[in-house]
Structure 1
């Protein structure tokens, strides 16, 4: 819960912003050209392209020097306050150009704080669970992303179904952002009650903490950083395009109602959330790479039929197609993905390594709604989202061939479990499981 709650808050409010982009465009960027207003809205949405990687570097340094617990508490405070602030900004009609300026500032702080959330939460979970169940437990981190997106989607659906357009533009869109403040207080309480992870405590007690985590990572772990970025690219782009951008695409390009677009997307997100822990558990038994290969191939197979049949298809067909590519295929790929990231790096630079690699992929993914809105307006092709996803997934698929198997059960080197708690390779399964059952002590 401590590792995932900040991620849930981040994606709940990211999804509110993405799903209500058309309403927000009218509030902050009034224009006679709807496309221009939407581009401005998605331009602000894409600000993490700059601020998130910077925040990732800053907070990763803290996380690998002072520990996971205190860093994640600071991240959550900044994220909750900046997200809640968005819901308090007056409209353009009330204060003029100051409104979009304040929105930009809030998004900068929000993106900066979010840069330290994902890697830290993943490291916290991975360093706190048994190695034989690590794949399933760490998969709850990306599952919380989908759960936050699903909650935001259902919340937006409930608002748009129960409020008039005038009510939505006046105050309805603000509610989702303001909820971040009480949720953040709950998350902060949980995180402050944690103990530091055993893996970090071990290197701290032995005075083996990295003096300059970023420099050390770039010098000794640059290949693993590129591998994380490579395998993350397809997942992050598909996630943003199919599960965040698609409701806007269905509304603005194919003239579906807002409630219909949110409903089909919510079903796809539900399939995504349910598939992730199943794939994570399978990766504990079969290894991390088999679900990654299956998921990437499935995304490549389904993405073009999905966008081809969006135009003119009935709502049930659209829901099934979204669930296939954005639910089952993406969920299968995502299940073991984050666990692979944390297993690639040693404890002293784990936070930094994962943060650098993941945030590199964010550059292409967070900007995708803006890029696709512009590309479709220039080319007139409704297949642009499919080409964009396919190109990113192809990069990830090729990266898998140079990725080592990281699951300890399949011969991967266990960088995470403290040396004092690792059993010899010759130990039997009973001996390995015994400390947890109380039969033996480490």
Structure 2
């Protein structure tokens, strides 16, 4: 494969192999978010629907606690055994755990064991998901042409959005075809079972790929350092890890709000019929999916730094007004708010994969980036839907979730403005992180064309 790595056919195969994992990951997120009420009633029966929903969303967030550990384990696999090995193992584990949730008996059948097993399966998912994003990002970006990394790096976010859309439409179909009782008792389980064949297809495609030319060259150079657990905790990379935490935190909160919490917000807080809420959320997700490649292309032209700071500023300024519109109960206002949400979220997510791969040293990039990335997109983001729902309950304000969204955007935007270097056009074989590059503050804030001539192509 290495001799024709940039051929159209090879690039399409690589894209499909990587996208199917991101698709499956967020397909499951969508299912869990959209069926959170039914899952809450099945595993956490209560006289109050809101309490069951909060408990269900808490379990949604539990998986993210173990996500940093998964990122570290699969990061080591990716840096030592190869990107392909990490991708193959993660998608298999993810598919099995998701399908098992669909088969898990409820509280009425096995009592307290039911929610315990649900939590364990969510933790297994968290482990596999912790390694999926970094490995797929590395595969896509390390096989891309230097001037086309933006679009290639946006594909994990595009795949995630497609998974969310597919999960949304599938949920809409089941909600329309089944009665509420059927949906609550067994209907919600069927979509989870689809993960098993999808993961097997993904495994088959991934096993047929060779590893990236970057990884092959790293393996051929004996003087290159080998990845170790301590690379995730190196003191000299503290700045790079802080940057990674911030861009992944605002990325995760924004995406999980849109992809997992929005349907429940529109249903429980804004009092929309559930099918109507799913349909409206789909509109926002489809627009977001279409905007991700455009945001990636813009980051190639204007730089990662400018593009991601634009998204942070948008969330900081518009987070509360968007939720005022979302809670208004008006269909037009909700659609406009979701469109604005998509416009300011796509620049953040499309750049997440790019900065993660371009920021860290070549031989340890997945291990080094695992802690900051998975801490940010892990528990602080995964509990975002729970925090949003709790803020509404505690304050009585329909727009209260906007406080958390805007607050995270302000914190992350400030840190990124101060610390984030321009990473576009970096040599992917460099053995230092991008914060140590000798660039002026003017270059750091400027478009990236001047950096591209320094790009060193990997040797096939």
1-structure distance, mates of 2:47, 2:394: 18
Residue 316 of structure 1: aligned partner: 332
Equivalent residue, structure 1, for 2:213: 198
Distance 1:208 1:383, change over 3 A: farther
**Matched residues in 1 for 2:17 and 2:110: separation?**
39
1:30 aligned partner? 45
DSSP-derived class of the 1:320 partner: helix
Counterpart-to-counterpart distance in 2, 1:87 and 1:311:
32
1:265-284 alignment runs, 5 A limit: 265-284=281-300
8 A Cα contact 2:296 2:351, kept in partner = yes
Q: 5 Å matches for 1:157-172?
A: 157-172=172-187
Q: In the superposition, relative to structure 1, how do residues 415 and 88 fare at CA in structure 2: closer, same or farther (>3 Å)? A: same
**Native 8 Å contact 1:234 1:393 kept in 2:** yes
Aligned to 2:8: none
Cα 1:130–1:282 shift into 2, 3 Å: same
Equivalents in 1 of 2:99, 2:166: separation in Å?
17
Q: Which runs of 5+ in 1 are unaligned?
A: 419-426
Native 8 Å contact 1:127 1:417 kept in 2: no
Structure 1: distance between partners of 2:243 and 2:317: 23
Alpha-carbon separation, structure 1, partners of 2:394 and 2:152: 44
Structure-to-structure mapping, 1:267-346, within 5 angstroms: 267-325=283-341, 327-346=342-361
Q: CA deviation at 1:235?
A: 1.8
TM-score normalised to structure 2 length: 0.87
Deviations 1:51-100 (A, max 9, x none): 11111111111111111111211111111100110001122222222222
Rate the CA distance shift 1:175–1:206 in 2: closer, same or farther, 3 A. Answer: same
* Rounded Cα–Cα distance in structure 2 between residues aligned with 1:213 and 1:4: 28
Q: TM-score, normalised by structure 1?
A: 0.90
Moved >6 Å (runs of 4+): 429-433
Structure 2, unmatched stretches of 5+, are 1-15, 432-449
Aligned to 1:52: 67
Distance 2:320 2:295 in 1: 24
Q: CA deviation at 1:378?
A: 2.1
Q: Is the 8 A contact 1:68 1:120 kept in 2?
A: yes
Which of 268, 271, 281 in structure 2 is aligned with 1:252?
A: 268
How far apart are the structure 1 equivalents of 2:388 and 2:348? 23
Question: Structure 1 residue 256: deviation in Å?
Answer: 1.2
1:7–1:118: 8 Å Cα contact kept in structure 2?
A: yes
Cα offset, 1:198, TM superposition: 1.1
Q: Is 1:85 the counterpart of 2:85 in the alignment? A: no
Q: Tell me the equivalent position of 2:155.
A: 140
Deviations 1:273-306 (A, max 9, x none): 1111001011112222222222222222322221
Distance 1:223 1:149 in 2: 32
Quote the residue 2:402 is aligned against: 386
Distance 1:23 1:432, change over 3 A: closer
CA RMSD between the two structures: 2.4
The DSSP-based 3-state class of the residue aligned with 1:87 is: helix
Distance 1:284 1:167, change over 3 A: same
Contact preservation (8 Å) 1:143, 1:273? yes
- Bigger mean CA deviation after superposition, 88-97 or 146-155: 88-97
* Cα distance in 2 for residues equivalent to 1:369 and 1:333: 19
Bigger mean CA offset, 141-150 vs 291-300: 291-300
